[in-house]
Amino acid sequence: MTVVDIDKTLLFLSTAFPDWKVRADNIGRTGRWVHFGSSTHYIAIEDRGATVKGPHEPYVHPGLNHLGFVVDELDALCLRMRSAGYREGMEVPLHSARKRAYFFDEDGNEFEFVEYLVETSEARNDYADAY
């Protein structure tokens, strides 16, 4: 993902995922890039020199709408994000198989965090009353 300020994006992501670390932080021919994550997952973040957020409006224009991550303790994550001052996204209806929350980073990118409350894939992926 390309952002205006990598360090602000890293602050957002490290608030959500305090166990994740910077795996690589380099300056390439096109600008700075960072891989941030765990030993098995990461997000590639780039700074291509933009100074302001682009005109993309999620859910309206083509491009990134939101990124989703499965977490173990959604309530703790939400507390960290709120305490750090991150803006919350849409409210979601209650569901017997999962809890979800949405937060925006400094660039206005929306992130979905979901905690599954059941083990079965069928229940986890039931979207009949999702919206």
Is the pTM higher than 0.85?
no
Q: Which domain holds residue 81?
A: 6-50+64-124
Cα separations in angstroms, 72 against 34, 37, 47, 66, 121: 25, 16, 30, 19, 16
- Strand-pair partners of 100: 114
Residue ranges in 20-101 assigned as alpha helix (H) = 74-83
pLDDT at 120: 87
Tell me if 101 sits within 8 A of 77, measured CB to CB: yes
Task: Give a yes or no: residue 1 inside a domain.
Answer: no
Mean pLDDT of the chain: 89
Q: What is the pLDDT of residues 13-47, one digit of tens each?
A: 999 999 999 999 999 888 899 999 998 999 999 98
Task: Give a yes or no: residue 131 inside a domain.
Answer: no
CATH of the domain at 86: 3.10.180.10
Range in 13-27, 44-58, 64-78 the model is least confident about: 44-58
pLDDT at 60: 74
